[in-house]
Amino acid sequence: MTEMQRAPNETAQVSAVGPETTGWVGWIFFAGILLWMVGFFQIIAGIVAIANPSYFAVRSGSLVVHMSYTGWGWVHLAIGVTALFAGYGVMVGRLWARIFGISLAGLSAVANLAFSRGSPVWSTIVIALDVVTIYALAVHGAEAAQQADE
């Protein structure tokens, strides 16, 4: 049945089935972009830690978690690559990506908190991006799936 053949009441019922998409759906796409940015930042931090361990402010033994900078580099690299995939999934409205993105942003925030003595400003920036990402994905995540289906 086409839109013209439906009775006015049927059209109202069809449009009232799901929740209305609000302007907050833009926050989900913003969260996807933030996941990409966090991913790239983590990849850069990982490469720097692997390639030039003497770059950082303190010896690796002075970090919250005692691990070599090479070890931290691999942790940052793994988080960064998976954040890129999660960001793509969030952008196309996948539920698994939202759940994974929230988990990954939380893991990224904890990793950067533990790494904060080595690079305090960089870690603080990444933690702030992680918090905004978690907020956008947790509060307004369902709207992105609805927008992708339309």
Q: Would you say residue 105 has pLDDT above 80? A: yes
Q: How confident is the model at residue 71 (pLDDT cuts 50, 70, 90)?
A: confident
What does DSSP assign to residue 54? G
Q: Which amino acid is at 135?
A: Y
What b-and-e string marks burial along 17-54, b requiring 16 or more CB atoms within 10 Å of the CB?
eeeeeeeebebbbbbbebbbbbbebbbebbebbbeebe
Tell me the mean pLDDT in the region 56-85.
Answer: 84
Tell me the mean pLDDT in the region 112-130.
Answer: 87
Query: Which range, of 88-92, 97-101, 145-149, averages the lowest pLDDT?
Result: 145-149
Q: Would you say residue 126 has pLDDT above 80? A: yes
Secondary structure of residue 90 in the 3-state scheme? helix
pLDDT for the residue 117: 81
Q: Would you say residue 83 has pLDDT above 50? A: yes
Report CA Rg, the chain: 20
Output the average pLDDT for the chain.
Answer: 80
pLDDT for the residue 122: 86
Q: Where do the structural domains in the chain lie, given as residue ranges?
A: 25-50+65-149
